[in-house]
Structure 1
Amino acid sequence: MDTQEREGAVEPVGDVSEPGRQPLWVEEPATRRRMPDPVRTAAVRAVLVMSLTMILAMVAFLTAMAGSWLSFPMVLTGVASTVVATWAVLDVWVTRQVWNQRNGVVSEPSSSARQLRRERRRARREARAAQRDAARIGHRGADRRLSRA
C-alpha cells in the first residue's frame, strides 16, 4: 500500500521518482501547538540576550584570568547584561500570560481544572434537577389537598 493511498497519510517529501526508493523525509504533524507570534518573538529576543550574556561572562572570566585592564569593564558589562537577560526572560513569561488572558487558553483533556469544572457542572445539574423534582412533588401535594377540601 502506497503512502498516498492511505487515508489521512502524510505526504512524502523529496525525490521519489524511482519506484521502490524511500523518500528523503516524511513530514509529520506537529505534536505541540505553535507558540503565538508575540511570545515567540519575545522568546527569540530572550535567547539572543542570554547568549550574548554568556559570551560576555566568558570574556569577563578570561580577561580576569589574564589580568587584563579590560577585566573590570567586562565584569560591569556582564552584570548589566545579566539584569537585561533576566528582564528578557520575564518579558517572555509576561507576554505569554497576557496572550493567554486575551485569547484564551486551550484546555487539554488531561487538565485537572477541566475535570473539576466538569464535576462542579454535574453537581449543579443534579442539584437543580433535585430542586425541580422537590418543587413538583410539593406542588402536586398542594393540588390534592385543595381537591379534597
Structure 2
Amino acid sequence: MATADETEVPRGLWVEEPVGRRRLPDPVRTAAVRAVIVAAVTVTQALMAFFLTLTGSWLAFPMVLSSVASTVGATWAVLDVWVTRQVWNQRHGVVSVPSSTARRLRRERRQARRTARAEARETARIRRRAAGRLSQA
C-alpha cells in the first residue's frame, strides 16, 4: 500500500524560497565586505604576533605594533559601515518599519499628486467638451 509521501511529486534539487530580509544597499555592502577583510587581517596579525612572541623572535615587536594599528583600522572600518548605513537610510528614506513617518508622508504626497492629476484631467476634459460645443453652434 502506497503512503501519501510516495505518491507526491518529487521536489527538484533547487527550491526557490523567499528571502526573509532585504539585501543591503551596494555602498553598505561594500563597506561591510571591506570591514570583514580588515578584521580578518587584524586577527591574523594578532595571531602572528602572539606566536612570534612565544618563539622569542625579533619580529614580535613590529607585529604587535602593526596589530595595534590594524585594530584601529578595523574599528574605523566598522564605524564606516555604520555611518554608510545611516547616510544611505537618510538619503533614501526609512524602509524597515511599515508605520514609519517617511512612508506615511510619501503616501500622502502620492495621494495629493493623484488627486491633482485627476482634477487637471477633469478640467481639461470639460474645456475640450465646452470648446467642441461652441464650435458646433
TM-score, normalisation: structure 1: 0.59
Q: Which runs of 4+ in 1 moved over 4 A?
A: none
**Structure with the larger helix share:** 2
Q: Give the partner amino acid of 1:63.
A: L
Partner of residue 57, structure 2: 68
Asked if residue 44 in structure 1 is aligned to residue 33 in structure 2, the reply is yes
Partner of residue 69, structure 2: 80
Q: CA deviation at 1:29?
A: 1.2
Asked if residue 25 in structure 1 is aligned to residue 14 in structure 2, the reply is yes
Q: Say which is worse superposed, 100-109 or 81-90, in terms of deviation.
A: 100-109
Partner of residue 109, structure 2: none
Q: Distance in 2 between matches of 1:107 and 1:62?
A: 45
Asked if residue 57 in structure 1 is aligned to residue 46 in structure 2, the reply is yes
TM-score, normalisation: structure 2: 0.64
Q: Distance in 1 between matches of 2:60 and 2:81?
A: 31
Instruction: Structure 2 unaligned segments of length 5 or more: list them.
Output: 1-7, 105-137
- CA deviations 1:53-96 (Å, max 9, x no partner) are 00000000000011111100100010000000000000000000
Q: Distance in 1 between matches of 2:12 and 2:66?
A: 50
Q: Distance in 2 between matches of 1:105 and 1:67?
A: 54
Aligned residues: CA RMSD: 1.9
Q: CA deviation at 1:107?
A: 3.9
Q: Give the partner amino acid of 1:82.
A: T
| Structure with more contact order per residue of length (Cα contacts < 8 Å, sep ≥ 6) | 2
Q: CA deviation at 1:20?
A: 4.2
| Percent of paired sites with the same residue | 68
